[in-house]
Structure 1
């Protein structure tokens, strides 16, 4: 049965509603960045750029490095935007948009996030490259989907006990990365970590400006969590959503983090742009090796 027009919304040119993209516009390797301006920071390394499309915070460029075709898209901040980006990217490759029907043969995308993050372990140096083996979501995105089969409940239950979790908050969910991508992109230059995806930048990450937070020890509790030698290493705002929806949709996802802050030490990078640029260069090099 065709998907209804109210559920799969298309623009007049047949492109998906928010991203303004058609199937031919994207490659099977997608790099996501939060900041729309960071798209250019990636594609300046391309040999060719075949298209540039902008709509709202979603800026997309597709091009090539050598014979490798790549797409870079900005998501904006937060897992609410990840819900839009992941579902519409999947629709581009796995739904026949003219017939509004799911294809018989599905395509698995490689989705690699390149973003910034703050460490909560004092042993993680500024400007280092951290790869998220697991993501823990403190938002509620994944609970709106039939997702029990992709969640690591033994870890999330242990974390809730450790944090004495307030039932008024969303239930944390834990999802793993695409391990083939982890093996491909990790090296002695990277740290493998467990990333907490927070629902906000200030209170949810225990930053205090004029508002008091409910649990002033939240980051310390996160940092002291240990489950079978697995500890939470850093905070950001998209990884768990990317991992969760990618698992559900059959895509491979990996989150690359430039550590530009160490919350445990109260330190911030002296040159965060340089740290991100070096992470972009490293990630592209590893993508091109395979």
Structure 2
């Protein structure tokens, strides 16, 4: 194994994001849908850079005087992994010799997403603010990090038992799914909840499940397909640790928190619940639903910068 960081640069730009040194602000919104990145950028006071490369779309500008970026990553933890690592490289490395600086201030990431509900009492249009995430993907397993607290360990133990019990008894994959848990930055979770409460928006704080797929891994029935877990959504809805219950299912936050934690960066997620627990094919008005998450995310950014006096 080489001791030299293996960074791929093409024409002075990182291979996937297409950004060069200085193209990203210290404060970054992460969204899945590139169209959502465009929508977030329209809230900026200024836009200084627009970079489109592969499936990634990045805007950098200012909001209320705060330098900020938004990155549209596409769907899934694998896409988020690439975006976060390349953001880390752009922020902390000299791209001419691939050496890492030692005095870089931490970045702040806030994910603005959409998700499916898992409880009948969590209605569509509710904002789910993640305190922890449960990863059903395996991307996070490639980044070794000790559990940040006891709750992470308990989520992992309980989730593994639930998944084993929920699998078809004759499935060759029964007992082979190894879930992992990760924790959002408490500071961001609390700031998001504070802003949601201040603006009278329906919200809950709890655990977000990140699935590696939209259909089978999220219990969306499709005739002709046989799933290992007939009702993974219903099974995981029973997971609750110290009053924190599973609120929603999406496809990114597990790796997002896990990797940002290893980098020493702050990370938090706020997702609009756009479908009910009993009708995942019935989605509310997408444009209207995501507006609340964007609004609260932007106000949280301002709040965090007032408190910490960060400069990007």
TM-score calculated relative to the size of structure 2:
0.87
Worse-matched range after superposition: 128-137 or 273-282: 273-282
Task: Kindly state the Cα deviation for residue 112 of structure 1 after the two structures are TM-superposed.
Answer: 0.5
Aligned pairs for 1:7-18 within 5 A? 7-12=6-11, 14-18=12-16
CA RMSD after TM alignment = 1.8
Q: Match of 1:229?
A: 243
2:259 & 2:280 partners in 1: Cα distance? 33
User: Which residue does 2:179 correspond to in 1?
Assistant: 172
Q: How far off its partner does 1:175 sit? A: 0.6
Q: What is the CA–CA distance in structure 2 between the aligned matches of 1:135 and 1:146, rounded to whole Å?
A: 16
Q: Which residue, out of 180, 192, 214, partners 2:228?
A: 214
Shift of 1:267: 7.1
1:180-199 → structure 2 map (5 Å cutoff)? 180-187=187-194, 188=197, 189=201, 190-199=203-212
Structure 1, gaps ≥5 residues long: none
CA contact (8 A) 2:134 2:155 kept: no
In the aligned structure 1, how far is the partner of 2:148 from the partner of 2:20? Answer: 29
In structure 2, C-alpha distance between the alignment counterparts of 1:27 and 1:266, rounded to whole Å: 36
- Corresponding position: 1:279 with 2:293: yes
2:126 is aligned to 128
Per the alignment, in what secondary structure is the counterpart of residue 25 of structure 1?
coil
Per the alignment, residue 55 of structure 1 pairs with 53
Contact conserved, 2:125 with 2:284, CA < 8 A, in 1? no
Alignment partners' CA distance in 2, 1:45 and 1:227: 37
What corresponds to 1:205 in structure 2? 218
The whole-number CA distance in structure 2 between the counterparts of 1:266 and 1:20 is 35
Unaligned 5+ residue runs, structure 2? 166-173, 307-312
- Contact 1:2–1:99 (Cα < 8 Å) also in 2: no
Matched, 1:159 2:159: yes
Deviating runs (4+, > 6 A) in structure 1? none
Do 1:142 and 1:244's aligned partners in 2 also have CA atoms closer than 8 Å? Answer: yes
Q: Give the paired residue count.
A: 286
Tell whether 2:275 aligns with 1:261. yes
Residues 170-198 of structure 1: CA deviation (Å, up to 9, x unaligned): x1001110111112221323311200000
What does the per-residue CA deviation read over 1:190-240, in whole Å, with 9 as the maximum and x for residues that have no partner?
Answer: 311200000100000111113121221322111112222222111000010
User: In structure 2, what is the Cα distance between the partners aligned to 1:217 and 1:36?
Assistant: 30
User: Which shifted more, 267-276 or 69-78?
Assistant: 267-276
Given that residues 126 and 268 in structure 1 are in contact (C-alpha distance below 8 angstroms), is that contact kept between their aligned partners in structure 2? no
CA contact (8 A) 1:127 1:275 kept: yes
**How big is each residue's C-alpha offset from its partner over 1:245-281, in whole Å with a ceiling of 9 and x where there is no partner?**
0001111101110110112355734312101022212
Q: CA deviation at 1:66?
A: 2.7
* Alpha-carbon spacing, 1:18–1:150, altered in 2? closer, same or farther (3 Å): farther
Indicate yes or no: 2:256 matched with 1:242.
yes
Q: Contact between 2:124 and 2:284, CA under 8 Å: does it hold in 1?
A: no
- 1:144 match: 142
User: How far did 1:116 drift?
Assistant: 0.4
SS in 2 for 1:233: strand
Report the Cα distance in structure 2 between the residues aligned to 1:137 and 1:278, rounded to whole angstroms.
25
State the 1:68 CA deviation: 1.0
